[in-house]
Structure 1
Amino acid sequence: MLTKNDLQELLDYQAQSPILSVYLNTNPTGGTIEDHKLQLRSMLKDIDAPKDIEIIKTYLDHEYDWRSWCSIAIFSNADENFFQAYPLAVDVRNRARLHHCPYVKPLAALFDAHSGYGVVLIDKQQARFFSFHLGELQAEARFSGEDVQRQKHGGGSQVTGRSRGVEGIAETPDGDTQRNMQEAANVAAKFLKTNNVRRVLIGGTTENVSAFQEMLPKSWQSLIVGSFAMSMNAAYGEIQEKALEIGAETEKHREEKLLQTIITEAAKGRNGLTRFGEILSAIKEGRVQTLVMKDGYKKDGYRCQGCGYITVQKLDKCPFCAGEFEHISDAAELAVRNVLQAGGSVKVVEDEKNTLDEYGGIVALLRY
């Protein structure tokens, strides 16, 4: 499973020779294994890295499990004996880059869109909890409470490490339901916190979902992004598919809202920027909180070989250290790396409404 530490290692890796980064969609719904290999050959035909290409092909032929994953990200630098492969449970767009550092922009987008999801299935007696990271199941648990069909005396709810004891609730079938919901909410809060969940989906009947939401601590209520109808006995694959579906739709709405916030802030001369040159200066100063760009955005630029300052202007000397500049083919990729290393976030969006086109394809929300 690809983790934040893995992403950080890729950000920290400084190659002395070019490294080949490959993102390949291998979803069986998109074609056969041979179809995907043909796509790979097409991507790599104009890339001059024969040793790395051979290493990647060998890995895919003999080690990669084509039927278990939706896509894969691979990074290879044969000259420095560096190779990392990360199978993914979510789709990526096919692309390949040969550069002096790993091409991490697609991974940054995946982390922003698909990490930190928690799912709770709830009914009057039971609850199931799931944590998803990049579409992959990270953890799961189950809670079983009082049988609400008949009154039980001397029994208790069943969940590891917990005991019954919700005070102030009557010993009636309705009381059992309320007590079960409250205990399930308590267990859910601990599960979600332990697994670093930041977006919550709840499945069940409308009545049960509504009752459960009210019993969650307000801090978790604010992180609920959607609900859906789902049987308590639903298969894992069905739950995963629904979580990805609702998550994608929710993310689209969040992106649209964020874009409007940045554009409004920029128009008022406050904490929004819509010009790439100004954005690069803000990145240099560590002021960018969130960088948002259209998928496929790429722009030439120049990087100071002394302090690493990036600009779209061709300057003789760096204004910060008087160093020499070198031309770079993708200044946006280096901007992404710098924002992530400074603790900011990056969103790579489809932008179906073409909102970003008016602003050159990239905008930024500032910390100050």
Structure 2
Amino acid sequence: MITQEKFQTLLSFEPSEQKVLTLYLNTDSGEEPTEAIKLKAKNLLGEANCMEADVQAVETYLNHSFDWKSPGLAVFSSRDGDFFETFPTAVSFRNRLRITPKPYLKPLGHLLEHYAHYGVILVDRIGARFFTYHLGELQESDGYMGEEIHKLKQGRGSSAIGRRGGTGGGSREEENARRNLRDAANVAAEFFSNKPIRRLFLGGTAENTAQFRDLLPKQMQSCLIASFVIDMNAGEHEVRAETLKLLNTANAEREKKLVKTLLGTSASGGAAVLGLDDTLQAISNRRVQTLLLSDGFQLPGYVDYNSGFVVANLAKSPLSEPELTAVDDVIDTAFTLTLNQGAHVEVIRDNPDLENAGNIGALLRF
């Protein structure tokens, strides 16, 4: 599994004359046969005929080392520099190949940002099950079982007890269910108390999840993203699949809001820039707080790695062409520089508003 520390190491990769081959693959063998995935990989690698040793290393890994249990795979190779890293993931990638001076990291950065540390609670009137996930992989699970609820038969005491002023059968059932929900919420709070959960999902019937939500601590309620209908006894694989779908939906909504904020801030004359030249200038000046990029957007440009200056249009550069290093993908360079500056980067998928604004923009620190 990719870690934040390993990602930082990849970010710090020192470029050299030897390029890095980066391959992202959708390796979900449940969607299509393994041999079909290998053929797609082979076709992509055909674009890297100038890097025969790296192509051979990747094909050897796919044929002999990769276990095909993970639906996603990222590979980085620069054989002359003795550099070969693989990261199977529980979340699939779009197929793509890049040959760049440094590892191409935007899809991996998106994975770390949107699929890190989330929790799931399944609840019914008797108990609850708890799950923690990181990058789509199950980390820990537990559960709680309360008092079993016995329904009284119709006409055997429920109404009679009620007439005598006691507690009717239906009332006892409801009280037992409420007590079970309260106890389950307390156990859930303890289970998640020491876990770095960013997002939380509730599963069960609409009635049970609504009642359970109000019993959780405020801090856990603030992490709740969505509730969904699922059987309490559903298998873990189904739980994971359903919550990944919900994460994708939540991420898409979040991206729309970010783009709307960017465009609105720019339109009102606030601390924001749009378009390639102004955004690259803001990165060079270390003014960026959050960089937004359209997924797949790439253009050639220039960089001075020592100063962190990046530019696409030489007419906008105070440095001459001999003082700069030409790069095939200045957008990926901007991505790496921004993260190294401690700023935040969002790779936005399929957003026409951002595309119409030039595919790139940034909210600024000042």
In which range does the TM-score fall when normalised by the shorter chain?
0.7 to 0.9
- How far the C-alpha of 1:261 sits from its partner, in A, is 0.9
1:262/1:271 contact within 8 Å kept = no
Map of 1:293 onto structure 2 = 293
Aligned mates of 1:340, 1:185 — CA distance in 2: 38
Map of 1:349 onto structure 2 = 348
1:140 aligns with 2:138: no
Map of 1:331 onto structure 2 = 330
Q: Deviations over 1:209-232 (max 9, x none)?
A: 111111122222122111111111
Query: Share of identical aligned residues, percent?
Result: 35
- How far the C-alpha of 1:112 sits from its partner, in A, is 2.3
Q: TM-score, normalised by structure 1?
A: 0.86
Q: Deviations over 1:241-299 (max 9, x none)?
A: 11011111121111111111110001111132212222223223433232222221012
2:100/2:328 contact within 8 Å kept = no
Q: Deviations over 1:100-159 (max 9, x none)?
A: 211101111122222222111112231111122222212222123344449xxxxxxxxx
Map of 1:364 onto structure 2 = 362
Map of 1:49 onto structure 2 = 51
Aligned mates of 1:22, 1:234 — CA distance in 2: 35
Aligned mates of 2:322, 2:183 — CA distance in 1: 62
1:280 aligns with 2:273: no
Aligned mates of 1:261, 1:305 — CA distance in 2: 31
Map of 1:61 onto structure 2 = 63
Map of 2:154 onto structure 1 = none
Aligned mates of 1:310, 1:317 — CA distance in 2: 9
- How far the C-alpha of 1:238 sits from its partner, in A, is 0.9
**Partner secondary structure for residue 232 of structure 2:** coil
- How far the C-alpha of 1:322 sits from its partner, in A, is 12
Aligned mates of 1:346, 1:356 — CA distance in 2: 14
Q: How does 1:1-368 map to 2 (within 5 A)?
A: 1-16=1-16, 17-47=18-48, 48-66=50-68, 68-149=69-150, 174-314=174-314, 318=318, 324-352=323-351, 354-368=352-366
Aligned mates of 2:25, 2:321 — CA distance in 1: 41
User: How many residues are aligned here?
Assistant: 345
Aligned mates of 2:22, 2:6 — CA distance in 1: 15
Aligned mates of 1:85, 1:261 — CA distance in 2: 36
Map of 1:154 onto structure 2 = none
Aligned mates of 2:148, 2:208 — CA distance in 1: 16
Aligned mates of 1:140, 1:12 — CA distance in 2: 35
Q: Deviations over 1:49-90 (max 9, x none)?
A: 111111111111111012x11121011121222211111111
1:115/1:133 contact within 8 Å kept = yes
1:291/1:363 contact within 8 Å kept = yes
1:317/1:324 contact within 8 Å kept = no
Aligned mates of 1:26, 1:123 — CA distance in 2: 35
2:23/2:75 contact within 8 Å kept = yes
1:307/1:323 contact within 8 Å kept = no
Map of 2:156 onto structure 1 = none
Question: Taking structure 1 as reference, are residues 281 and 149 closer, same or farther at Cα in structure 2, changes over 3 Å only?
Answer: farther
Question: Taking structure 1 as reference, are residues 288 and 185 closer, same or farther at Cα in structure 2, changes over 3 Å only?
Answer: farther
- How far the C-alpha of 1:236 sits from its partner, in A, is 0.7
Q: TM-score, normalised by structure 2?
A: 0.87
- How far the C-alpha of 1:318 sits from its partner, in A, is 4.8
Question: Taking structure 1 as reference, are residues 273 and 188 closer, same or farther at Cα in structure 2, changes over 3 Å only?
Answer: farther
**Partner secondary structure for residue 143 of structure 2:** strand
Note the residue ranges of structure 1 that are not aligned, 5 or more in a row. Answer: 151-170
Aligned mates of 1:206, 1:241 — CA distance in 2: 19
2:147/2:176 contact within 8 Å kept = yes
